[in-house]
C-alpha cells in the first residue's frame, strides 16, 4: 500500500487529472490530487477512525477524506477516509484557473429549498426563544437547496469553477461512500498540524459582500463593530481554546479580524498552538475539535439536539471536516461549508448561520441565501 508521489506537478494537470472518485484539495499555497484507491476506511467514531488511519499510514503515504457533521451515537453517515494509490501535489491552483473560461455545468430543471424560506425563519425564531433559556448559548441552523438536472452532473466541471472563483481558502472534492461527491470552497480551517505547530482559523459572524465598493466597505465595518456577531464569534474561540488546551503546551489567540471571501465577510481569529505530543495526528486533533460552535453551537450536545429538532433534513457531510493526514501526523482539515453533495442528476447545496439570543430571523434567512452563492456561482447561477 504505497502511494506514488509526483511533487511539483503542473497545476492545470491536477485539475485536468481530477475525475469523480478522486480527492482534490486546493489551498492558496498548494494543491493535492489523490487518485485511485489502495484502501478505504468508513467509521462512525472519529477518534477510532483517527487511530485506524494512523495504523494504516505506517504503510501508506497519505490518507484523505471527510468526517460527517454528526459524529454522535445516532450518526447516520460514517467518517470516510481513503488511501489513494497515487498522490500528486503542485503549487496553488487558483492563479492558473482564474483565466480559464467558466465550465458548462448544465441548467437545473428544478430547484427546491428545504425547508421553505418561511419555515427557516420560523425555525430561527424558535431557536431564539430556546436561546433565552440559559442552557443554550448558540446554535447553528442550516437549510438546503435541491437542484435536479435532466443530464448527468459533472463534478469535475463544478470543481473547476469553484477553483476558478475562489482564490483563497480551501477548495475540495471528495468521494462519499454511496458514490456521490462532496465538494465546495470553504474559508474555514478547522486545524492544520505541521510538526509541533498547530493552527486553527475559526470563522463566525457574517456580512454579505457587495459589488458597490462603498457598501462593501460599510458591510465590513459594521460587521467588525457588531456586538451580536462578536458574541457569536467569541463562543467559538472560547470552545476552541478549551478543546485545544489538553493537546498543546502553548496557545496563542491572535486579534479577531474581518476576513473576506468572494461572497461573504466574516469574523476570523487565528489560534496557534505548540503540540505537546507528536503522536497526536492532525486527524486526531480534528476529531477532538469537531463539531465547533461555528457549525453546531454550544453547549455542543444541546445544540446538536436542537439542530436535529429544527432542521428537516440530514446534514450528512455538510459542516463536517475534509482534509488529509500523512504518516508523520501532519495534515490539514477544513470545515466542509459552502458545499454541496453531487449525485448522478441532483445537487444538494447547504448553508447555515450561527444564531444567538439577539439574532434576527429574517436577517438569518438572508445570510444563508448569500452563503449559497459560493456553489451557485460555480453552477453559473449566482449573481456576478
Ligand atoms: C455554517 C456556515 O458558516 C459558518 C462559518 C462562518 C460564519 C458563520 C456565521 O456567521 O454564522 C458560520 O459560523 C455556513 O456557511 O454554512
ipTM of the complex: 0.99
Instruction: Show the CA angle centred on residue 24, arms to residues 152 and 88, nearest 5°.
Output: 125
From the list 365, 318, 325, the residue with the least C-alpha distance to 57 is 325
Q: What is the distance between the alpha carbons of residues 329 and 275, in angstroms, rounded to a whole number?
A: 11
Q: Is 370 in the pocket of ligand 1 (CB under 6 A)?
A: no
Q: Is 143 in the pocket of ligand 1 (CB under 6 A)?
A: no
Domains and CATH numbers, the chain: 4-378 (3.60.120.10)
SS3 305: helix
Ramachandran class of 316: left when φ > 0, alpha when ψ lies in -120 to 50, beta otherwise: left
Each of the 384 residues of the chain gets a pLDDT tens digit; together they read 334 444 455 667 788 899 999 999 999 999 999 999 999 999 999 999 999 999 999 777 899 999 999 997 778 899 999 999 999 999 888 888 888 889 999 999 999 999 999 999 999 999 999 999 878 999 999 999 999 999 999 999 999 999 999 999 999 999 999 999 999 999 999 999 999 999 999 999 999 999 999 999 999 999 999 999 999 999 999 999 999 999 999 999 999 999 999 999 999 999 999 999 999 999 999 999 999 999 999 999 999 999 999 999 999 999 999 999 999 999 999 999 999 999 999 999 999 999 999 999 999 999 999 999 999 999 999 875
Provide the CB-side half-sphere exposure for 314 (13 A, CA).
11
Q: What is the pTM of this model?
A: 0.96
Residue 249 — φ and ψ, nearest 5°? -85, -30
How many angstroms is it from 382 CA to the middle of ligand 1? 19
| Cell representation of residue 69 | 457533521
Q: Is 206 in the pocket of ligand 1 (CB under 6 A)?
A: yes
How many angstroms is it from 37 CA to the middle of ligand 1? 32
Cα radius of gyration rounded to whole Å, the chain? 19
For residues 69 and 29, the answer to whether their CB atoms sit within 8 Å is no
Helices (H) and strands (E) in the chain, counts: 10, 21
How many angstroms is it from 54 CA to the middle of ligand 1? 30
Residue with cell 444541546: 302
| Cell representation of residue 5 | 508521489
Cα 308 to Cα 288, 296, 338: the distances in Å are: 21, 10, 20
For residues 329 and 282, the answer to whether their CB atoms sit within 8 Å is yes
For residues 359 and 231, the answer to whether their CB atoms sit within 8 Å is no
- pLDDT the model gives residue 376: 98
Cα 185 to Cα 130, 338, 375: the distances in Å are: 32, 6, 8
- pLDDT the model gives residue 62: 95
The best mutation among 138, 206, 350, 370 to test binding of ligand 1, ranked by most ligand atoms within 8 Å of the C-beta, falls on 206
Query: DSSP states of 247-277 as a string?
Result: GEEEEEEPPPEEEE-SSEEEEE--EEEEES-
**Residue with the nearest Cα to atom 7 of ligand 1?**
204
The best mutation among 315, 354, 355, 369 to test binding of ligand 1, ranked by most ligand atoms within 8 Å of the C-beta, falls on 354
Q: Is 373 in the pocket of ligand 1 (CB under 6 A)?
A: no
By annotation, the residues acting in catalysis are 138, 188
Q: What is the distance between the alpha carbons of residues 189 and 267, in angstroms, rounded to a whole number?
A: 13
How many angstroms is it from 293 CA to the middle of ligand 1? 10
Q: Is 307 in the pocket of ligand 1 (CB under 6 A)?
A: no
- H or E stretch covering 122: helix 117-132
From the list 381, 377, 372, the residue with the least C-alpha distance to 161 is 377
Q: Is 352 in the pocket of ligand 1 (CB under 6 A)?
A: yes
| CB-CB neighbours of 204 under 10 Å | 28
| Cell representation of residue 214 | 462603498
Amino acid at each position: 500500500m504505497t502511494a506514488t508521489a509526483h511533487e511539483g506537478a503542473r497545476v492545470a494537470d491536477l485539475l485536468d487529472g481530477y475525475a469523480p472518485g478522486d480527492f482534490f484539495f486546493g489551498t492558496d499555497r498548494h494543491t493535492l490530487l489523490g487518485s485511485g484507491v489502495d484502501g478505504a476506511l468508513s467509521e462512525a467514531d472519529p477518534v477510532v477512525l483517527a487511530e485506524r488511519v494512523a495504523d494504516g499510514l505506517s504503510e501508506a503515504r497519505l490518507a484523505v477524506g471527510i468526517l460527517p457533521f454528526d459524529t454522535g451515537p445516532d450518526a447516520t453517515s460514517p467518517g470516510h477516509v481513503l488511501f489513494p494509490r497515487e498522490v500528486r501535489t503542485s503549487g496553488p491552483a487558483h492563479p492558473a484557473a482564474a483565466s480559464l473560461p467558466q465550465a458548462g455545468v448544465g441548467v437545473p430543471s428544478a430547484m427546491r429549498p428545504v425547508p421553505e424560506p418561511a419555515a427557516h425563519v420560523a425555525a430561527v425564531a424558535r431557536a431564539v426563544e430556546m436561546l433565552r433559556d440559559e442552557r443554550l448559548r448558540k446554535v447553528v441552523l442550516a437549510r438546503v437547496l435541491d437542484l435536479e438536472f435532466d443530464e448527468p452532473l459533472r463534478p469535475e466541471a463544478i470543481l473547476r469553477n469553484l477553483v476558478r472563483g475562489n482564490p483563497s481558502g480551501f477548495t475540495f472534492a471528495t468521494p462519499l461512500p454511496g458514490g456521490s461527491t462532496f465538494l465546495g470552497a470553504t474559508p474555514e480551517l478547522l486545524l492544520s498540524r505541521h510538526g509541533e505547530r498547530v493552527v486553527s482559523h475559526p470563522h463566525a459572524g457574517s456580512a454579505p459582500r457587495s459589488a458597490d465598493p462603498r457598501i462593501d466597505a460599510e458591510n465590513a465595518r459594521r460587521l467588525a463593530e457588531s456586538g451580536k456577531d462578536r458574541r457569536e464569534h467569541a463562543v467559538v474561540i472560547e470552545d476552541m481554546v478549551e478543546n485545544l488546551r489538553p493537546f498543546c503546551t502553548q496557545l496563542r489567540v491572535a486579534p479577531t479580524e474581518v476576513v473576506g471571501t468572494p461572497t461573504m465577510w466574516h469574523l476570523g481569529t487565528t489560534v496557534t498552538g505548540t503540540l505537546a505530543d507528536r503522536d497526536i495526528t492532525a486527524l486526531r486533533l480534528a476529531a477532538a475539535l469537531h463539531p465547533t460552535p461555528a457549525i453546531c453551537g454550544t453547549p455542543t450536545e444541546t445544540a446538536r439536539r436542537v439542530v436535529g429538532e429544527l432542521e428537516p433534513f440530514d446534514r450528512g457531510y455538510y459542516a463536517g471536516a475534509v482534509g488529509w493526514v500523512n504518516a508523520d501526523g501532519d495534515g490539514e482539515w477544513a470545515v466542509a461549508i459552502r458545499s454541496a453533495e453531487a449525485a448522478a442528476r441532483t445537487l444538494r447545496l447547504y448553508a447555515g448561520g450561527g444564531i444567538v439570543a439577539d439574532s434576527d430571523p429574517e436577517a438569518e434567512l438572508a445570510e444563508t441565501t448569500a452563503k449559497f452563492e459560493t456553489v451557485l456561482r460555480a453552477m453559473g447561477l449566482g449573481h456576478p
